[in-house]
Structure 1
Amino acid sequence: MIKHGRSASGTQRWRCASCALASTAPRADKARRSQLGEFLDWLLEAAPQRKRHESARNFRKRTGWCWRLEPSIRPDGVVHHVVMADGTYMNGWCLPAAIDGISGEVLAWQWCERESTAAYNALFAQIAPPDVLVCDGMKGIQRACAESWPHTRIQRCLIHIQHDTRQDLTCRPRLEAGRELKRLADALTCIHDADHAARWGEALNAWRERWRHMLAERTFAREHPDDPRAATSRSGWWWTHLRLRRAYFRLERLFRDGSLFCFLEPEPQAYGPVPRDGNRLEGGLNAAIKRMLLNHRGMPENHMRRACEWLCYMKSAKPDPARILKEHDQHAADADDDDADDDGESTIQPTLGNGIDWNEFHSSTRYPNGTD
């Protein structure tokens, strides 16, 4: 066979040297790779419905098989200096993900119903223990870090700390003590060296000495029988300024355990800089997931999860959709060989859903048949 020009559509034409018969030689693997590329461009681009030159129904029909592909990141055992981890919620499910804190590449993800210790343990099992973990301070992620990565330091996201303080004190505290404490919390993102951090700790301690009598004030149920808390209080009293105490003791605990200014310590900085917040994860991955789901609003739940997996995979270090397609075809061929009977007739039963493997974090009562 020798090359014999191209057809009207641009396809390479071949001619037999002996019989002079000309024809094209289409390759199904290249066609599937091309369709997969179109599918990912449509799924991940910012305005997916404005650039298509065919009907949406025809496009969904051509690329519908792409939803059955299962992207995954192979654990490579590489030790990353800083790892950021957090979960984002969608449609009743949670997707905790971990990224490299310096480059922003996605390292792993794990589906679950809530941010629990078991979910984060499963996530951390896919990654080599880093030097520093930047997180929002949820109890599940801290316990999982202590169990899976006992030698990893934790840097609390300062933006989340400021957010938690505003939730307790409001944006405009009524009391002078609350206004002073809020100013201290707002100053966290302005600290860039160890000396400034030490002065901040001294200011926090001075605030405690100045307002310690207010922090110790109690309200007794017998003096306020009409208060709703009087009926539920077991001890017969409660802290008068509970939210103020909670905001203060949170800052004091984080300052003492070293997770507030870990990014300024020499030991964690020995192998590179340490971020002081999780903005690279919040704005780079979680925000992209929300935008994609908004662009494709109305997708069924199984497609939503698969779309999130594709987005995470394409933000990894070396995404290779062709490898995912090749592995899927190989698994399908192996399944056909295993399920074929002695007469050569296939005994494969039709399946429902998109082939997502349910793990132990998925509720068996919500989907009793294991399919969507």
Structure 2
Amino acid sequence: MATIANQPRCDVCGNKLVKNGKNSAGRTRWRCKNCGASTTVSRPDITAKKQFTSFHRWATGKQSIAELGTPRSTFHRTTAWCWQVQPHLEQTGEQHRYLMLDGTYFNGYCALTAFNGKHIIDWQFCDREKIASWTHLLQGMTPPQIALIDGNGALESVLTALWPDTKIQRCYFHIRQSMVKHLTLNPRTVPGQQLLALTRALMKVSTKDEAANWSEQFIHWQSMHEVTLKERTYAKDRTASRPTRVKPHQTWWYTHIGLRRTERLLHDLLKKDHLFQWLDLAQPGELLPKTTSPLEGGINAGIKEQLRLHRGLTPQHSMALVRWHLYRYAENPKDPWSFVQRHHWAEKPKPKPRAEEPIGPAVYGQHFSWGDGNGIRKGWGGRR
């Protein structure tokens, strides 16, 4: 009878309703002075806001459904429409000093994020880190002065194509991970031990002079072990075991492949000038980051923690949960209720019609059949 407003109108005559006490359930009773009709007015928008507030507190917090004080089945039923609400960020066109770019995987999906050290600038969901997904994320953003990356090849290609004037800084933490992967923490050769010491010294570089000194030491190490890096093992040598990485038709392979891969990585970083941009572009008194740890160890680690606390979600619901988690780190986040539209909670999903299944074989239908054994029987049935 009434509309959603503080002054509802009568559905009979159209006049405004006035308050007329409360009913036995404690709800306000409204009465029309013109025709005398009486009714109670429901506010589905207030109900929906309460449901969404409870859903948002659960999705972004650490409380379980039981700790919210709502039965599990009731919570899932009343908040089913809340999964449709999607927060989004609006690009301001601001040029940032630097951006940390990284992707994290969850439930078969990948979340690509752009972080300026304090706030999330934008995000993108995809199946994996590839050129198309990184292009879709970065093409609408203003190029920063420095981009910190973890060494993903697709990301580096997109940065070179879309942001040619942006300087690239490789994350030191991922450099160390690659060193440990190829050299291990206990290399058996002297060149490997020396290169591991150089890698540890790289992590402690803090000035331009130290960076120049480190570069000279690395170049000296290359020239000193040039022969070792090019050493080969031939398949005709029966004493040599064939590594799993070697293809069956190969006749030779590099003996110290781990040492060679580590040397190639550092050599390429120096050649592309991706190693000391955090020092070369720093202003007096400014400390630029050299790792993506604030993004990976903070926001991305929080994604994994939220999914662990809410484990069992479908991939689509996991994506919605990650979206709300990332929006918490926006620079000027809006009220989550502002993203809710009337069609989200007003239109209830219609159940799919169920097809009628046959009760049994065709002989057990509604028509009479002699084949089912229910016909009139004749003959002697036996006697005592």
Q: TM-score range by the shorter chain?
A: 0.7 to 0.9
Report the alpha carbon displacement of residue 319 of structure 1 after superposing the two structures with TM.
2.2
Change in Cα spacing, 1:189 to 1:16, as seen in structure 2 (3 Å) is: farther
Asked if residue 76 in structure 1 is aligned to residue 61 in structure 2, the reply is no
Q: Is the 8 A contact 1:46 1:292 kept in 2?
A: yes
Q: Is the 8 A contact 2:100 2:295 kept in 1?
A: yes
Q: Point out the structure with the larger helix share.
A: 1
Could you say which residue in structure 2 is the equivalent of 1:108?
A: 122
| 1:163 alignment partner AA | Q
Report the alpha carbon displacement of residue 95 of structure 1 after superposing the two structures with TM.
1.5
| 1:260 alignment partner AA | L
Asked if residue 195 in structure 1 is aligned to residue 206 in structure 2, the reply is no
Change in Cα spacing, 1:8 to 1:294, as seen in structure 2 (3 Å) is: farther
What SS does the corresponding residue of 1:77 show, helix, strand or coil?
coil
1:32-80, Cα deviation, whole Å (9 max, x unpaired): 2332221111011124346221211111112111001122212221211
CA distance in 2, matches of 1:269, 1:14: 69
Matching residue within 125, 132, 157 for 2:171: 157
1:62-112, Cα deviation, whole Å (9 max, x unpaired): 211100112221222121111111111122221211111x21x11111122
| 1:232 alignment partner AA | K
Rg bigger for which structure? Answer: 2
Matching residue within 213, 219, 231 for 1:217: 231
Asked if residue 41 in structure 1 is aligned to residue 48 in structure 2, the reply is no
What SS does the corresponding residue of 1:51 show, helix, strand or coil?
helix
Q: Which runs of 5+ in 2 are unaligned?
A: 1-6, 8-17, 353-384
1:335-362, Cα deviation, whole Å (9 max, x unpaired): x9xxxxxxxxxxx9889xxxxxxxxxxx
Q: Which runs of 5+ in 1 are unaligned?
A: 337-347, 352-372
| 1:245 alignment partner AA | R
Q: Is the 8 A contact 2:48 2:345 kept in 1?
A: no
Asked if residue 291 in structure 1 is aligned to residue 305 in structure 2, the reply is yes
Asked if residue 276 in structure 1 is aligned to residue 290 in structure 2, the reply is yes
Could you say which residue in structure 2 is the equivalent of 1:90?
A: 106
CA distance in 2, matches of 1:172, 1:42: 46
Change in Cα spacing, 1:139 to 1:287, as seen in structure 2 (3 Å) is: same
Report the alpha carbon displacement of residue 141 of structure 1 after superposing the two structures with TM.
0.4
CA distance in 1, matches of 2:310, 2:63: 9
The worse-fitting range, judged by mean Cα deviation, of 110-119 and 159-168 is: 110-119
Q: Is the 8 A contact 1:81 1:272 kept in 2?
A: no
Matching residue within 254, 269, 282 for 1:239: 254
Asked if residue 253 in structure 1 is aligned to residue 268 in structure 2, the reply is yes
Could you say which residue in structure 2 is the equivalent of 1:66?
A: 82
CA distance in 2, matches of 1:256, 1:237: 28
The worse-fitting range, judged by mean Cα deviation, of 31-40 and 105-114 is: 31-40
1:15-34, Cα deviation, whole Å (9 max, x unpaired): 99989x99986643343233
What SS does the corresponding residue of 1:223 show, helix, strand or coil?
coil
CA RMSD of aligned residues (A): 3.4
The worse-fitting range, judged by mean Cα deviation, of 58-67 and 155-164 is: 58-67
The worse-fitting range, judged by mean Cα deviation, of 219-228 and 71-80 is: 219-228
Matching residue within 316, 321, 325 for 1:302: 316
Report the alpha carbon displacement of residue 164 of structure 1 after superposing the two structures with TM.
0.5
CA distance in 2, matches of 1:162, 1:135: 14
1:117-176, Cα deviation, whole Å (9 max, x unpaired): 111011102321111111101100000111121111111100000001100001211112
CA distance in 2, matches of 1:249, 1:205: 12
1:256-300, Cα deviation, whole Å (9 max, x unpaired): 32211110013x548964210001110122111100111111111
Could you say which residue in structure 2 is the equivalent of 1:263?
A: 278
The worse-fitting range, judged by mean Cα deviation, of 130-139 and 217-226 is: 217-226
What SS does the corresponding residue of 1:222 show, helix, strand or coil?
coil
| 2:310 alignment partner AA | H
What SS does the corresponding residue of 2:121 show, helix, strand or coil?
strand
| 1:246 alignment partner AA | R
The worse-fitting range, judged by mean Cα deviation, of 53-62 and 135-144 is: 53-62
1:184-213, Cα deviation, whole Å (9 max, x unpaired): 112222111111111111221222232222
CA distance in 2, matches of 1:133, 1:6: 63
CA distance in 2, matches of 1:275, 1:77: 22
CA distance in 2, matches of 1:92, 1:331: 27
